[in-house]
Copies of this chain bind each other. A is one copy, B any other.
Amino acid sequence: MESITPVILCGGSGTRLWPRSRASKPKPFLPLVGTQTLFEATLARCADSATFAAPVVVTGKAHLSHVEAQSANVEGTSVVVEPLAKNTAAAIALAALRLPREAVMLVCPSDHHIADTAAFAAAARTGAQLARQGWLVTFGIAAHAPETGFGYIRRGEGIEQGGFRVDRFVEKPDRATAERFLAEGQYSWNGGIFMFRAGDFLDELAAHRPVLAEAVREAETRGHAEGARFHPDPEAFARIESESVDYAVMEGTTRAAVVPVDMGWSDIGNWQALHEARDADGDGNSIQGPAELVDCRNVMVDSDGPRVSVIGLENVIIVVDGDEVLVTSAAGTQKVGKLGGASSQ
């Protein structure tokens, strides 16, 4: 059985985990859950050489030093350095063009947390079998709550080995719709994890987005390698249309499949999500850094230095990072990105 090539996308930094995540030290490169950074954990999930080939990382210049430092121990890592951010369709197409047409790609975001790595690996093996039959596979993340912050995937008829045709992709729903999806049981979250052969992806992109496909091909053809780095041609790259892989390919193709998987997944989309991903004590409190909690429940403290003393609070998150202190209710974590400090970076 041929191996799977991990394609790891290291995109924008975001503002929702400010002040720990900042423009200069973005989310994928921080040890948010456990001792590994999210990027390191993403590499580690695909490190078994019996299943996986060396990874391809697609990133921007701003993150290149982080990527190279944190992947230094992963033999054979190559890096595609985007001169601009052009969303996921272009990023994946660039990686596909650097691989043999028969290579099975496993496309992963670099800033998600997956607690059950064995379930992830099993889904990857299932996805690879479907990909080798020409399917464009997306992972369907088991929905445990009526989340309104994710896109959903409705499964259709079963194919084999735990895979299904995709019935349809659904935009982020409102609360009532999300509750209906959860009750119906046919819906999964779209976690942005995909598997397909490089050639199949490029063919579908050419069919559905010929201009985009051609622009990426030109940027790749005129690009140049520099050791393990590949630099697409900046002028050609600048002309690429910015579009997500979901819109450009997955929603249009007739060969979309979904592999449902329940693997303790989180996009760590805000501080409350991070709180839930971290280990907690019997009162639901989780602490990183020096802290003392008295009469607290479901309190999270994350301090990079100062001691944090907390009394009598419930469902509160406290983050200390250098010259910034964030104190928010669990519900308030949705608004962190709009704070003056987060938006003025």
Could you list 16 A-B pairs, sorted by A, with CB under 8 Å?
A306-B320, A306-B322, A306-B324, A307-B324, A308-B325, A308-B326, A309-B326, A309-B328, A309-B339, A309-B340, A311-B326, A311-B328, A311-B332, A312-B329, A312-B332, A316-B327
Interface size on A, residues (CB 8 A): 34
Contact, CB under 8 Å: A294 / B341: no
Contact, CB under 8 Å: B335 / A311: yes
CA distance A117 to B47 in the complex (A): 73
CB under 8 Å from chain B, chain A span 270-317: 292, 294-295, 303, 305-313, 316
- State whether the Cβ of A323 lies closer than 8 Å to any Cβ in chain B: yes
Measured CB to CB, the nearest residue on chain B to A342 is B309
CA distance A307 to B335 in the complex (A): 17
Contact, CB under 8 Å: A307 / B323: yes
CA distance A80 to B239 in the complex (A): 81
- State whether the Cβ of A215 lies closer than 8 Å to any Cβ in chain B: no
> Which residues in B have their C-beta under 8 angstroms from that of A328?
309-313
Measured CB to CB, the nearest residue on chain B to A314 is B329
- State whether the Cβ of A318 lies closer than 8 Å to any Cβ in chain B: yes
Contact, CB under 8 Å: B294 / A309: no
In the complex, how many angstroms separate the beta carbon of A102 from the nearest chain B beta carbon?
50
> Which residues in B have their C-beta under 8 angstroms from that of A323?
305-307
In the complex, how many angstroms separate the beta carbon of A335 from the nearest chain B beta carbon?
5
